[in-house]
Amino acid sequence: MEIAAGIDFGGTSAKVGLVDKSGRILAKDSLLLNSRESFEGIVEPVAQCLRGLLAGSSAQQGLAAIGIGTPGFIDKNEGVLIGGCENIPALQRRSVQKYLGNAFGVPAFAENDATSAAAGELAFGAGRKFSSFVLITLGTAIGGGLVLGGRVYRGYRGFAGEIGHLCVNPDGLWCNCGSRGCFEQYASGTAMARVYGEKLRKRGREPEAELTPKIIVEKAREGDELARDTIEETGRWIAQAFGSLLNVLDLEACIVGGGVSEAGDILLSPIRRHLPDHCWPQICQGVQIVAAELRNDAGILGAAAQAFERLEA
């Protein structure tokens, strides 16, 4: 039985799992990361965690590959993290792929975490039904991945899918990437919290607690009109980004993942309602807007899926 290890690096933690080719997670664990540690101080505990999972599993002899997902721009050949991972600065200009490949004696493949998520949805999740789709991951920021012709599209250097930095408003807010009017500034979880807070303050009210998308969704379900307006606005921005991508790529589906996607139809419905305003009718016809299916295990399953895919390729 062939097994891939899936490793998902976040800003403060890493998730590690063993996955078979059917998408079954045989074992998994997580560990906290100290972002101020050295490269070895961050990666070696992850290696130790993987060794522990293998030692406690019957899959030890079946480890075929290691998949790694991190934020940022990753060279698709050497696995060097070139930039865009400021939350874990020690990983930048280094190759987790090379370190873990050498440590375990198997091929290792590093990839942007949202591109890995697209690979996971294609292999094991909502993308199984489609040969071409776009995935966006909605969280603190917005990530993205593309599947074209049944394969993950990585682009010339492996950087494709930076959908959060599509320009949706040329005169809009400045983004931390240095550009103006990025999609991420209008439809991320961070943007939702900002917009809802602004709506409250304009009416002389202060938020009761630190705002999160989950709180906003709960309030919308309870009938809070300002929360509903915020989600409607978010859905319109997402529809604009999807419409632009559909006009260029003629996709079968648009998949919404990340923590914010757990809002379900309260978010998907406005996206579907506004999409025809941003896309040719002939291209929009039949396009499905669906939620990602892998949820909390998306990082592990996505990293493992791209490892299996790239190993076979």
CATH number of 288's domain:
3.30.420.40
Strands 25-32, 81-83: pairing is unpaired
Q: What is the number of domains present in the chain?
A: 2
> Band of the pLDDT at 226, cuts 50, 70, 90?
very high
Same domain, 61 and 147: no
User: How high is the pLDDT of residue 65?
Assistant: 97
The CA distance from 217 to 65, in Å, is 39
Rounded CA gap, 163 and 158, in Å? 14
Q: Are residues 130 and 115 in the same domain?
A: no
Q: Are residues 273 and 307 in the same domain?
A: no
Q: How does DSSP classify residue 277?
A: G
- Residue 98 sits at φ, ψ, to 5 deg, of -65, -40
How much is the pLDDT for 60?
Answer: 60
pLDDT > 70: what percent of the chain? 99
Say yes or no: 7 and 68 in one domain: yes
Q: What is the mean pLDDT of residues 212-221?
A: 94
Whether 26 and 19 have beta carbons less than 8 Å apart is answered as: yes
Distance (Å, whole) CA 14 – CA 46: 7
Q: Is 38 a residue whose pLDDT tops 80?
A: yes
Q: Which residue has the tokens 């949202």?
A: 114
Confidence at residue 259, expressed as pLDDT on a 0 to 100 scale: 86
What domain range is 94 assigned to?
3-119+297-312
Q: Are residues 307 and 267 in the same domain?
A: no
Give 77 or 186, the one with higher predicted confidence.
186
Claim: this prediction has a pTM higher than 0.85: yes
Per the rule left: phi > 0, alpha: psi between -120 and 50, beta: everything else, 188 is beta
State whether 244 and 262 are in the same domain: yes
pLDDT above 80 for 115: yes
Residue with structure tokens 């998994």? 28
Q: Identify the H or E element spanning 46.
A: helix 39-55
Looking at the DSSP bridge assignments, the partners of residue 80 are: 95
Q: Do 145 and 106 belong together in one domain?
A: no
Give the Cα separation of 60 and 64 in Å (integer): 10
Can you tell me the distance from the alpha carbon of 57 to that of 234, in angstroms, rounded to the nearest whole number? 44
Q: Which of 73-87, 132-146, 244-258 has the lowest mean pLDDT?
A: 73-87
Same domain? 47 vs 132: no
Whether 107 and 208 map to the same domain: the answer is no
Instruction: Please state the separation of Cα 128 from the chain's center in Å.
Output: 17
